[in-house]
Amino acid sequence: MFADKLYEKIIEYKNPTVLGLDPLIEYVPDSIRKKYSNDIDAIYHFNKDLINNLHKIIPAVKCQSAYYELLGPKGGYLLQKTMDYAKSKGMLVILDCKRNDIGSTARAYANAYLNDGIYSADAITVNGYLGSDGITPFVNKCIELGKGIYILVKTSNKSSYELQDMKLENGLKVYEHMAQLVSSWGEKVIGKYGYSSVGAVIGATHPKQLAELRQTMKSSIFLVPGYGAQGGGVEDVKDAFDKYGNGAIINSSRGLMCAYKKYNLSKEQFIKAAILEALDMKEQFNKFINLKGNS
């Protein structure tokens, strides 16, 4: 099941980070672009280069569906190929697509993205605004196929407070109520390490909430976006982890894809920079956390 696989990958790699593959053609250096007559093939080369060079450092990739959908139907093939390639290199594959709908339609989405055969992600992100019957079809895939989902709880963007921080009559905020729903939805798929395959998305830009939710959502693995380019730092996310340094994965997309900017290298040296950044992230997180595999 997904939660156990992820837990073990984090220990094996001694690294709880995720490579976000949200490619725009502008990120791809000219030397690659001029080899191909179309953007799709150039981006696939770019993605493959990153996977080839980082798959021994980072245990998982997260593809942001929007950047593939932006390329039209051909982007669907690019997404399939990218996810298949990452899997062939032993990485877990999360598709960040934030799908949500009523039961019958949620079932169609669950079949599309979590069944083996079409997009075949190991896990996807989901929006819980519709409640249980929009979530159950995805939870069923966690149970039946060993897949995972991450449900939006407190998102990394600035305006997340407008709905998510509204205070309820019962004293909880909307995101805390969502956190309770997520915990209850995840109860049926808790693995041998105590974590559920139903996880939660909580932004790196909210360190206080990360720490509080770590206490109330004992069984949820957190998927933490917003590290790096969006402003979240290592100190901001350290409380997302449990005492073993597990229970959370930290995504970096532009921070890795465009690391050449941080390291004052040329775009052509994007791989060199991505490796430096990936190793730096691994080291940074190891300063703060005490991964079981290290002890």
Return the active site residues. Answer: 98
- Residues 12, 108, 187, 294: which binds its own copies (CB under 8 A)? 108
For 194, phi then psi, to 5°, come to 90, 0
Q: Which is nearer to its own copies, 164 or 246 (CB)?
A: 164
> Which pair of tokens denotes residue 107?
């079932």
Quick check: 23 binds its own copies (CB under 8 A)?
no
Residue that the structure tokens 């877990």 belong to: 92
Query: 135 to 174, contacts with its own copies by CB under 8 A?
Result: 152, 155-164, 166-170, 174
Q: How many residues does the chain have?
A: 295
The one-character DSSP state at 102 is: -
The one-character DSSP state at 24 is: -
- Residues 30, 38, 52, 103: which binds its own copies (CB under 8 A)? 103
Quick check: 49 binds its own copies (CB under 8 A)?
no
Quick check: 20 binds its own copies (CB under 8 A)?
no
Query: 205 to 264, contacts with its own copies by CB under 8 A?
Result: 225, 230
Report the Cα 183 to chain-centroid distance in Å.
Answer: 18
Sign of the CA dihedral with 259 first, then 94, 23, and 222 last: negative
Q: Do residues 47 and 65 make contact, with C-beta atoms less than 8 angstroms apart? A: no
Q: Which is nearer to its own copies, 143 or 166 (CB)?
A: 166
Quick check: 112 binds its own copies (CB under 8 A)?
yes
For 114, phi then psi, to 5°, come to -110, -20
Query: 80 to 99, contacts with its own copies by CB under 8 A?
Result: 80, 98-99
- Residues 30, 69, 84, 268: which binds its own copies (CB under 8 A)? 69
Quick check: 74 binds its own copies (CB under 8 A)?
yes
# residues near its own copies by CB under 8 A: 60
Quick check: 116 binds its own copies (CB under 8 A)?
no
From CA 98, how far away is CA 67, in angstroms rounded?
Answer: 13
From CA 205, how far away is CA 232, in angstroms rounded?
Answer: 5
The CB-side HSE value for 153 (13 A sphere, CA atoms) comes to 32
Q: Which is nearer to its own copies, 185 or 270 (CB)?
A: 185
From CA 229, how far away is CA 204, in angstroms rounded?
Answer: 11
Binding letters toward its own copies, positions 184-203, x by CB under 8 A: --------------------
Q: Which is nearer to its own copies, 145 or 276 (CB)?
A: 145
What does R_g of the chain's alpha carbons equal in angstroms? 18
- Residues 57, 89, 111, 212: which binds its own copies (CB under 8 A)? 111
Q: Which is nearer to its own copies, 11 or 28 (CB)?
A: 28
| Distance in Å, CB of 285 to its own copies, minimum | 23
Which stretch of DSSP H or E encloses residue 178?
helix 174-186
Q: Do residues 114 and 124 make contact, with C-beta atoms less than 8 angstroms apart? A: yes
The one-character DSSP state at 166 is: P
Quick check: 127 binds its own copies (CB under 8 A)?
yes
Judged by the rule CB under 8 A, the positions of this chain that interact with its own copies are: 22, 64, 66-67, 69-77, 79-80, 98-103, 105-106, 108-109, 111-113, 118-119, 127-134, 152, 155-164, 166-170, 174, 177-178, 181, 225, 230
